[in-house]
Amino acid sequence: MTTDRPTGFGFETRSVHAGASPDPTTGARNTPIFQTTSYVFNDVDHAASLFNLQTFGYIYSRLTNPTTAVLEERLAALEGGRGATCAASGHAAQILAFFPFMEPGDGFLSSRKLYGGSITQFNHTFKKFGWNVTFVDSDDPENFRKAMTPKVKAIFCESLANPGGVITDLEAVAKIAHEHKVPLIVDNTMASPYLCRPFEWGAALIVHSTTKFLSGHGTSMGGAVIDSGAFDWAQSPKFAGLTEPSPAYHGLRFHETFGDMAFTVHGHAIGLRDLGPTMAPMNAFLTLTGIETLALRMERHCANAQVVAEWLEKHPDVSWVSYAGLPSSPYHVLAKKYLPRGKGSVFTFGVKGGYEMGVKVVETVELFSHLANIGDTRSLIIHPASTTHRQLTDEQRTAAGAGPDVVRVSIGIETVDDIIADLDQALRSATRRNA
SS3 321: strand
**Distance between CA atoms of residues 256 and 231, nearest Å:** 14
Which residues on adjacent β-strands are paired with residue 370?
381
| Residue 1: per-residue pLDDT | 28
**What type of residue sits at position 227?**
D
| Residue 404: per-residue pLDDT | 84
* Residue 303 neighbours by CB distance under 10 Å: 16
Q: What structural domains does the chain harbor?
A: 11-290 (3.40.640.10), 295-434 (3.90.1150.10)
| Residue 400: per-residue pLDDT | 64
The terminus-to-terminus CA distance of the chain in angstroms comes to 55
**Distance between CA atoms of residues 178 and 230, nearest Å:** 11
| Angle in degrees, CA 412, 277, 68, rounded to 5 | 65
> What pLDDT tens digit does each residue of the chain (435 aa) get?
233 444 589 999 999 999 999 998 899 999 999 999 999 999 999 999 999 999 999 999 999 999 999 999 999 999 999 999 999 999 999 999 999 999 999 999 999 998 888 999 999 999 999 999 999 999 999 999 999 999 999 999 999 998 777 999 999 999 999 999 999 999 999 999 999 999 999 999 999 999 999 999 999 999 999 999 999 999 999 999 999 999 999 999 999 999 999 999 999 999 999 999 999 999 999 999 999 999 999 999 999 999 999 999 999 999 999 999 999 999 999 999 999 999 999 999 999 988 889 899 999 999 999 998 999 999 999 998 887 666 677 777 676 677 788 999 999 999 999 999 999 999 999 877 444
Closest CA to 231 of 349, 81, 109, 335: 81
| Residue 3: per-residue pLDDT | 36
- Whether this prediction's pTM lies above 0.85 is answered by yes
* Angle of helix 66-79 versus helix 281-291 axis, rounded to 10: 40
**Distance between CA atoms of residues 100 and 197, nearest Å:** 23
User: Where do runs of H (alpha helix) occur along 26-113?
Assistant: 44-51, 66-79, 90-98
